[in-house]
């Protein structure tokens, strides 16, 4: 069993850019969406090894803007734990839906999110071409479109 402590990052604590940049290569984008967002960190033996960012879209819907596990700890079920924790946090805060966006090339993430109960609701054509300075490639596929997935939070 992994001993993980998940908690809200306090205002005076350092922003875990090293983790956030794993999920989003643009620091400029990160700096825009973390304003007014809540950053949750996961600690193992007092070391920050993962994080996620939640930001309200409106009074019913909240978005996971970023989710990342440090490479040495990936593939051990932590992503799944964070996703469930994000859903629980959103539910506790009164939200009815939670959404997450990912790239068309992010095959593993699309698998993980759908397995966790998210369904595809929208595609934003050319999002990663229009909003990023450099082309992004993953799994030998160019990341062009954003796939938006949503999950209803059962009361
Ligand atoms: N390819 C294939 N399957 C993957 C995968 C990948 N890249 N990443 C996760 N999975 C699958 C696992 O096999 C597992 O499946 P199972 O439940 O059938 O065993 C399931 O998803 C959960 O995996 P888990 O170990 O909890 O994932 P993780 O701790 O590695 O976290 C990420 C997943 C995506 C958060 C992590 O890999 C990461 O930080 N990646 C870099 C940042 C990133 O891409 N963030 C998302 C941006 S949209």
**Residue 32 above 90 pLDDT?**
yes
Nearest CA to ligand 1 atom 45: 23
Best of 79, 85, 128 to mutate for ligand 1, by most ligand atoms within 8 A of CB?
A: 79
Of the candidates 112, 95, 29, the one whose C-alpha atom is nearest the C-alpha of residue 59 is 95
Reported as a pLDDT band with limits 50, 70 and 90, residue 3 is confident
Ligand 1 nearest atom to the CA of residue 73, by list position: 29
pLDDT digits (tens, 9 = 90+) for 73-89: 999 999 999 999 999 99
**Residue 71 above 90 pLDDT?**
yes
Six token digits for residue 43: 């600690």
**Residue 136 above 70 pLDDT?**
yes
131 Cα: distance to centroid of ligand 1 (angstroms) = 24
Reported as a pLDDT band with limits 50, 70 and 90, residue 138 is very high
């Amino acid at each position: 069993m992994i001993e993980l402590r998940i908690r809200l990052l306090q205002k005076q604590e350092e922003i875990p850019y090293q983790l956030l940049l794993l999920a989003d290569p643009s620091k400029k984008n990160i700096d825009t969406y973390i304003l007014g967002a809540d950053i949750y960190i996961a600690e193992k033996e007092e070391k920050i090894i993962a994080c996620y960012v939640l930001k309200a879209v409106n009074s019913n819907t909240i978005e996971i803007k970023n989710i990342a596990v440090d490479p040495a700890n990936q593939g051990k079920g932590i992503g799944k734990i964070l996703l469930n924790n994000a859903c629980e946090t959103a539910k506790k805060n009164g939200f009815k839906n939670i959404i997450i966006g990912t790239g068309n090339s992010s095959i593993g993430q699309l698998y993980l999110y759908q397995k966790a109960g998210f369904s595809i609701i929208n595609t934003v054509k050319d999002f990663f071409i229009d909003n990023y300075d450099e082309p992004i490639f993953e799994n030998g596929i160019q990341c062009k479109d954003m796939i938006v997935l949503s999950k209803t939070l059962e009361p």
